[in-house]
Amino acid sequence: MTMKLLILAGDGIGPEVMAEVVKVIEWHKRQGLDFVVSHDLVGGAAYDAHGTPLTDATMERAQGVDAVLLGAVGGPKYDNLDFSVKPERGLLRLRKEMDLYANLRPAQCFDALADHSSLKRDLVAGLDIMIVRELTSGVYFGEPRGVSREGNERVGINTHRYTESEIARVARSAFELARKRSNRVCSMEKRNVMEAGILWHDVVEEVHKAEYADVELSHMLADAGAMQIVRAPKQFDVIVTDNLFGDLLSDCAAMLTGSLGMLPSASLGAPMENGRPKALYEPVHGSAPDIAGQGKANPIACILSFAMALRYSFDLGAEADRLEAAVEDVLAEGLRTPDLGQDEDTRSVGTQEMGDAILKALDARAA
């Protein structure tokens, strides 16, 4: 069956890391997989061309493919734009209109990088946690919002809002994933200070009791959870949390793996007519303006996001495993982009060289 991909490379290092993913897709096409790839603009790149970070036409194309692959959006050039046309709004529109409510952010520590984490090797070696971040609601989208005047001063307003069904559906995603992993879910909110946190806790409990009693469920206040992720990350299997806490906790978990340049993500919605979920895959990192244009960005987060596409959109688990193993091979060989550090046993490489090495490792594994 044809697999339609829309690539939105975006800004900064987005196009640089996505170019390596394109090579990986081409490699899989040579293996006989029927990918049909198209490209379009998002973020600052779309703003420059069309005056909006996502055109209606691009939105429509995104709705019509099997999976969207996104690089990164944003950058200092766009910092002073009106809020409504900021690059990030393009990405948020995609997430909202495709209703991609479950954002899967795995943090896995490859053995070769265990000494490069900001934590001690013992704490991170073998780490494999999955953060499930709610992605289409909460304070990112709640109304009322905006900046207005109250008397003599300005007031900034955002609303943290969750409905019962929004909480229940992402909780189900987390429980389903846990069943295929170590069968444990930890839910994080701040029910000590937020009514929406109380509802979050209670709905997760109710879904658990009614449908997933076989899964081990625990709860943590999100601030304590952040501390525990850094203190003893291997205690976790699946973490389910809201949009904002999930954003923070996943960047935090990224450093356990050695670099933000390592973390992939899948944003999934309801099944489409063909049975595949609505899906967008993107690295957790941003456009990294500080290193953009220098050919030294780490393409691994973006490449591993494509591995997630193989697994979650196309049911190609063996191919996903092979791609992840190829990444592990090149790290074990000692290849490192600058974000992954250096020691006497490693060799510093740029973005393209890292991509080429992964293709070679794929060749070796396919032979």
Cα 71 to Cα 102: distance, rounded to the nearest angstrom = 19
Helix (H, G, I), strand (E, B) or coil at 81: coil
**Interacting partner of 92 out of Mn ion, ligand IPM, ligand NAD, none (Cβ under 5 to 8 A depending on kind):** ligand IPM
Cβ atoms of residues 135 and 268 within 8 Å: no
Q: Are β-strands 238-241 and 184-189 bridged in parallel, bridged antiparallel, or unpaired?
A: parallel
Position of tokens 């049909």?
36
The enclosing H or E element of 366 equals: helix 351-366
Q: For CA atoms 25, 29, 31, 32, give the dihedral sign.
A: positive
Please indicate if the annotation marks 184 as binding a ligand.
no
Q: How far is the CB of 305 from ligand IPM (least distance, A)?
A: 11
Please indicate if the annotation marks 290 as binding a ligand.
yes
Cα 231 to Cα 215: distance, rounded to the nearest angstrom = 24
Cα 130 to Cα 234: distance, rounded to the nearest angstrom = 11
**Which residues bind to ligand IPM, rule: CB under 6 A?**
74, 88, 91-92, 247, 284, 286
Cα 339 to Cα 321: distance, rounded to the nearest angstrom = 24
Cβ atoms of residues 253 and 105 within 8 Å: yes
Q: 13 to 52, contacts with ligand NAD by CB under 6 A?
A: 13, 17
Describe the crossing of helices 300-312 and 14-30 by its angle, rounded to 10 degrees: 50
Please indicate if the annotation marks 292 as binding a ligand.
yes
Q: How far is the CB of 79 from ligand NAD (least distance, A)?
A: 8
| Sheet of strand 3-10, all strands in order from the earlier edge strand to the far edge | 35-40, 3-10, 67-72, 277-283, 264-271, 102-108, 128-134, 238-241, 184-189, 216-221
Please indicate if the annotation marks 321 as binding a ligand.
no
Report the residue closest to ligand IPM, judged by CB. Answer: 88
By C-beta, is 225 or 286 nearer to ligand IPM? 286
Q: How far is the CB of 339 from ligand NAD (least distance, A)?
A: 4
Interface residue with ligand NAD among 9, 65, 66, 75 (CB under 6 A) is: 75
Active site residues per annotation: 140, 190, 223, 247, 251
Pattern 302-341, ligand NAD, x by CB under 6 A = -------------------------------------x--
Q: How far is the CB of 249 from Mn ion (least distance, A)?
A: 10
Interface residue with ligand NAD among 6, 7, 41, 74 (CB under 6 A) is: 74
Helix (H, G, I), strand (E, B) or coil at 94: helix
In the numeric block, which tokens belong to residue 82? 């009106």
Q: Does 249 bind ligand NAD (CB under 6 A)?
A: no
By C-beta, is 286 or 299 nearer to ligand IPM? 286
Q: Are β-strands 347-348 and 35-40 bridged in parallel, bridged antiparallel, or unpaired?
A: unpaired
Cβ atoms within 10 Å of 48's Cβ, excluding its own? 14
Q: How far is the CB of 250 from ligand IPM (least distance, A)?
A: 7
Please, where are the H alpha helices in 212-341? 222-231, 243-254, 300-312, 317-333
Q: For CA atoms 50, 54, 56, 61, give the dihedral sign.
A: positive
Interface residue with ligand NAD among 288, 309, 330, 331 (CB under 6 A) is: 288
Please indicate if the annotation marks 224 as binding a ligand.
no
Q: Does 247 bind Mn ion (CB under 5 A)?
A: yes
Q: Which stretch binds ligand NAD (CB under 6 A): 52-60, 71-79, 178-186, 327-335?
A: 71-79
Q: How far is the CB of 14 from ligand IPM (least distance, A)?
A: 11
The enclosing H or E element of 230 equals: helix 222-231
Please indicate if the annotation marks 95 as binding a ligand.
yes
By C-beta, is 74 or 355 nearer to Mn ion? 74
Contacts with ligand NAD by CB under 6 A lie at: 13, 17, 72-75, 88, 91, 260-261, 282, 285-291, 297-298, 301, 339
Binding residues for substrate: 95, 105, 133, 223
Contacts with Mn ion by CB under 5 A lie at: 247
Binding residues for NAD(+): 75-88, 286-298
Binding residues for Mg(2+): 223, 247, 251
